[in-house]
Amino acid sequence: MHDINRSDSNTSPLRNAYSERTFPAFSLPRLLKTVFSPAEGSRVCILIDLPNPALMAGFAFLNEPTFTIQRHAYEVFYQGLKNGVLAELGLDGGDMFAYELTGGSNLDLPETCVDAEGRISSFEETIYTKYDLVLCVSTYSATAPLTASAKQFGFRGATLHGLNEIILSTGLAVDYNEVSILAERFRAGITRAQRVEIDFVACGEQATLKLELAGQEAQKSHGLCPGTEPDVANLPAGEVYFVPTTADGTFPMKYEDGTLGMMTVKEGRIVHARLLAGSASTIQAHNEKLVSDPVTGELGELGFGTQELPPSGRDIQDEKILGTLHVATGRSDHLGGTLTPDRFASRLNATHDDVLFSSTKTPEIHLPQARVYRDGEVHSVIENYLPTEYVKNLMRGV
């Protein structure tokens, strides 16, 4: 392990769960005004996903207690718009539509949707060409396909997948002007980096992943897309990210069933997974997928959280927490990368899957240090899931 620019995280701890921070009450008008600065008369709609979109008719999905995300979409966004927010902001529409569950993160959306009257119509005719602002509150992220459609048809939007009470009361209650300022401070401190190296320890085994960045400009997800340019914000926001040019090394990964595997990365892709603990069949299935569709292992993102937020149990917020980082496999075109759905052997594999490393999501995986190589200097940015003094000074504007 390396000791370059190491800070003592025991003497300068960040509020780990941010229990000391207080948040304002969630306000839908404030969120929409801050994120979009919508013009008078802008038309807005809400999208949800359902296993059976026919349940959209008459809002029948509300009778199913398992659809908690979709219920938030109805109670907070749909009813909020209809019960005064449209009038307050001078907006129009407020309609709600459902589409069939895609089954994976950032898979292309189906061609049709269903409205509250049960009518089936095409996305292009009903959504993309009729609304200026599209709010997608879904089970799986739709950021990639909506971003592609926004560029094609000219609308703006926000994706809010995995919405729960914690996210509503914290990650969506913040002032996104402040989020943008902090994200920019972090971005300015690591942009044009040549390389990032991340050290891991899992099941007593050490690993290091090296991601080459070729001096590219870091990008930020900061929750603001005002004006008229087509854009889609991923909310909650608060992250700085790169699209690696290549990567090599090893890193541990925790699967959905809790299995731990060690990934071997060569020339920018995971090429093999090895069992550390858990289910051998999970590792076998992953290796079979890597063989049959190699681009599924491509590392298409490296991201760092920039916000002080409590863990929500959902990656969409937890990857935005300062002191966490994530890499992502698969589709990268919505981030400026080149991996598009047509390059996968199966379009059902054309997902963008974040692999989050945090003290709450992956306590079995230790992260002694993440280092940024930039302008001939090496800066430690994360140690043991805490931001270093270098990062804290960036965030203070020092």
pLDDT interval class at 343 (50, 70, 90): very high
pLDDT interval class at 398 (50, 70, 90): confident
pLDDT interval class at 88 (50, 70, 90): very high
Q: What is the mean pLDDT of the chain?
A: 94
pLDDT interval class at 225 (50, 70, 90): very high
Residue 9's pLDDT is what?
33
**How far apart are alpha carbons 122 and 124 in whole angstroms?**
5
Sign of CA dihedral 144, 147, 153, 156: positive
**How far apart are alpha carbons 9 and 97 in whole angstroms?**
48
Closest CA relative to residue 72, chosen from 177, 160, 191, 173 = 160
Strands of the chain, DSSP E: 43-50, 92-100, 112-115, 120-122, 133-136, 156-159, 195-202, 205-212, 219-221, 231-234, 239-242, 246-254, 260-266, 269-277, 299-305, 325-330, 352-357, 365-374, 377-383, 386-387
**Secondary structure class of 78 (helix, strand, coil):** helix
- Judge whether residue 156 has pLDDT over 90: yes
For residue range 5-45, list pLDDT tens digits in order.
333 333 323 344 455 689 999 999 999 999 999 999 999 99
Return the minimum-mean-pLDDT range out of 10-24, 119-133, 337-351, 377-391: 10-24
- What letters, b where the CB count within 10 A reaches 16 and e where it falls short, cover 131-148? bbbbbbbbbbbbbbbbbb
Q: What percent of the chain has pLDDT over 90?
A: 90
The reported pTM is 0.92
Closest CA relative to residue 64, chosen from 76, 74, 55, 73 = 55
Q: Domain extents for the chain?
A: 28-171, 176-396
Residue 45's pLDDT is what?
98
The crossing angle, in degrees rounded to 10, of helices 176-190 and 28-36 is 40
